[in-house]
A and B are shown apart, each in its own frame.
Chain A
Amino acid sequence: MALIKCLNASRGVLRSVGARYLSATSQKHAPTEMYVRDALNSAMDEEMNRDDTVFLMGEEVAQYDGAYKVSRGLWRKYGDQRVIDTPITESGFAGMAVGAAMAGLRPICEFMTFNFSMQAIDQVINSAAKSHYMSGGMVTVPVVFRGPNGAAAGVAAQHSQCFAAWYGHCPGLKVVSPFNSEDCRGLLKAAIRDPNPVVFLENELMYGTAFPVSDEAMSEDFLIEIGKAKVERVGKHVTLVSHSRPVGQCLEAAEQLASEGIDCEVINLRSIRPLDIETVQQSVMKTNHLISVEGGWPMFGIGSEVCAQIMEGPAFDYLDAPAIRVTGADIPMPYAQVLEDGALPGVKDIILSVKKTLHIQPITESA
């Protein structure tokens, strides 16, 4: 089913999502493995424990344990004051989160999905992002907006949009898009501690995926610097740069291509804004080929920005082929499975693009 498909698309150690966890808070499947959901949960738990100005608000986050169970157990542990169920009024509660942040608290404002953030986008941009600047540095807004972003499975057009490019466009915001459990832990903790407004883009299809995590990542003070990308796989023939779930697809494509002698370097951006173009530049200067991979729409997207910045910088002279993009199709998300499959980039799109870029298949040959 769709869920199995999504599991197959992720690299790392895979576990069945049938396993259920009945006890509260921090979960680990095995000592060195963690589900993405639990990585997020433990990050919030630890930060709420450490700083009592941190609180969580959103629809169903408290008594329902979270629409996607990301906040499971937190209400039972911290109570009504710290974990708050809001009415279905995004514009109002996002504004309240911003106001509470201005007044010195550290809200985590959950959007059940980022599609619903459009109702509140004025508060995220005009109230949160711009206030520090408009006030000449007087007002600070230490708020985190988090929730699932991008496509899920079979949820159709209004529930499948990726907002990385929209939020990434705006100065004053930090925008983060983690891939695996370690990313989620380190980046969410960093986001909560950050004195700036942070948009934290999760991925629903990743919540049920487990990844190995280092001992370092289990520490309560484990932070990942916002604005730094990670090279997930070192390679020498082509650079694949991506964010969120598609990083897993790049890694899978890289494995398949490795058996054909093509060696891909895979970069996990981790942050959309600030964008770590230096890591991409370093990589392109080595591999001479660049492909960006994202789930969002092609026009004015993350890949557009990466390519434009590569053009403007030192790496351009090292390109042996035009930098190209793999993206979601330029269509509203359809419902029928066969159509949905064609709307989102798959491993095959990445492999095709790598081969074309490296002139391994003649350009005239159809895919």
Chain B
Amino acid sequence: MSYNATAKFLQRVLCKQPLGVRTYSVEATFPIKPIDTHKLENTPATEVQINKDDAISYYTKMQIIRRMELKADQLYKQKIIRGFCHLYDGQEACCAGIEASLTPKDDVITAYRAHGWAYIRGVPVCNILAELFGRKLGCAKGKGGSMHMYSKNFYGGNGIVGAQVPLGAGIAFAHKYRNSDTVTVACYGDGAANQGQIFESFNMSQLWKLPAIFVCENNRYGMGTSVERASASTDYFTRGDYIPGLRVDGMDVLAVREATRFAKEHAVKEGPILMELVTYRYHGHSMSDPGTSYRTRDEVKEIRQNLDPIMNFREKIISAGFVTKQDVATIDAEVKQHVENETAKALASTEPDFDQIACDIYVTDTPLSIRSCNIYNQLHHQPSV
């Protein structure tokens, strides 16, 4: 599960020089929507700089996530993916923007809408899709599924709403214990924001000044319940009370990047900070939710047309002169092909061997015998590698 496959692909895209096209700009400055703050004296910048390579990288990665999620939608409908499948399309700027201000040594944990996060933290598309298909090539060997994908410095992928936040605070605790200058990003949604254990995490993180960035990805609906119907206060960035907060346009990758840069600085020096990213999911809560019973099709359409993070960023990078329309079309085609290739690889992978069923329950030096469904056949737990 390394960066290699993606890095190679990006390198190809970045180095490609389309015939007859010249781009001269290497850096540009963009304004970002003002970031609301809570209990902060300093604020993030209102203008951000970006260079061409980063711009193309963010665009490409967001587009890969978009394509991958749409591919998952397609394959779910073909019954190749089963069970739960919570898609991230519309929210790409959140993970891409945050990752842009993190290092590989910072840690991230999120809930179950995790495919985009798994990708941005280094899991190749084929390993994500193979996990969704329940195949050997899956990043959790096919044993976790959609909600349980992990990577180095990425702790999933967690199915119980809100439970990942205390886990994230614990990871931040470990960073502090070791005196490192790294942060832990713990994501949760607007639905989880009312969970008691989140407030317990806020309390301990602030008490012990843990280097934690709590990120509320507010996509305005907790399953079928809008924020107004679930929360007495929908100003999620203030809900940390004594913990300072930021409310950021989660559809703008540059705003998210800048806010994260600011938040990381705060978290390492002062302690926890809360970042609310106002975003939107095009799909319903999961593949079994059409997403139209609690919101209008017009609302979804309007957001797609006006606030789409990828479309808006595309316009920015073209206007900055980093790329032309043709360049972008080429990138899009490459991304499409990449996802197709990765899908094919994942589909070609077989299901796990049955003898894997009782492995990885424990860390063990010796083989273990595990009860099966009847007393006449035993399952076998191999020693850990």
Contacts and interface: CB of A to CB of B under 8 A. Distances in A.
A95 B161 CA distance: 13
Interface string A117-154: 00000110011000111111111100000000000000
A200 interface: no
A98 B141 CA distance: 22
Given A96-B204, A99-B174, A136 B166 contact: no
B148 interface: yes
Contacts of B360: 132-133, 135-137
8 contacts: A95-B165, A96-B173, A99-B169, A100-B171, A103-B171, A104-B174, A105-B173, A136-B143
Interface in B340-385: 359-364, 368, 370, 375, 384-385
B107 interface: yes
B177 A87 contact: no
Interface string A220-235: 0000000000000000
Interface of A: 55, 81, 84, 86-87, 89, 91-105, 107, 122-123, 126-127, 131-140, 171-172, 174, 195-196, 274, 312
Contacts of A100: 170-171, 173-174, 177
B361 A103 contact: no
Given A55-B177, A104-B174, A99 B363 contact: no
B60 to A, nearest CB: 27
Interface string B136-171: 001111111000101100011111100101111111
Nearest to A92: B200
A126 B166 CA distance: 13
B196 A138 contact: no
B203 interface: yes
Interface of B: 107, 109, 138-144, 148, 150-151, 155-160, 163, 165-175, 177, 196-197, 199-201, 203-204, 207-208, 359-364, 368, 370, 375, 384-385
Given A99-B171, A137-B359, A137-B360, 20 more contacts: A55-B177, A86-B204, A95-B165, A95-B166, A95-B201, A96-B167, A96-B201, A96-B204, A102-B167, A102-B170, A104-B174, A105-B173, A123-B167, A126-B160, A127-B160, A127-B163, A135-B143, A172-B361, A174-B362, A196-B363
A136 B139 contact: yes
A306 to B, nearest CB: 15
B362 A92 contact: no
Contacts of A97: 170
A161 to B, nearest CB: 22
Contacts of A312: 375
Given A96-B169, A99-B174, A127-B163, A137 B201 contact: no
Nearest to B210: A96
A105 B362 contact: no
A91 B385 contact: no
Given A126-B159, A134-B143, A92 B201 contact: yes
Nearest to A52: B177
Given A135-B148, A171-B361, A92 B141 contact: no
Given A100-B177, A135-B144, A89 B200 contact: yes
Contacts of B159: 126
Contacts of A87: 200, 203-204, 207
A-B pairs with lowest CB-CB distance, top 5: A99-B170, A95-B166, A92-B200, A136-B141, A103-B174
B140 A122 contact: no
Given A96-B204, A126-B160, A132 B166 contact: no
A195 B201 CA distance: 25
Given A81-B177, A134-B140, A96 B156 contact: no
A95 B167 contact: yes
A95 B164 CA distance: 8
Contacts of B370: 171
A91 B196 contact: yes
Contacts of A274: 368
A312 B371 CA distance: 12
Given A91-B166, A138-B140, A103 B158 contact: no
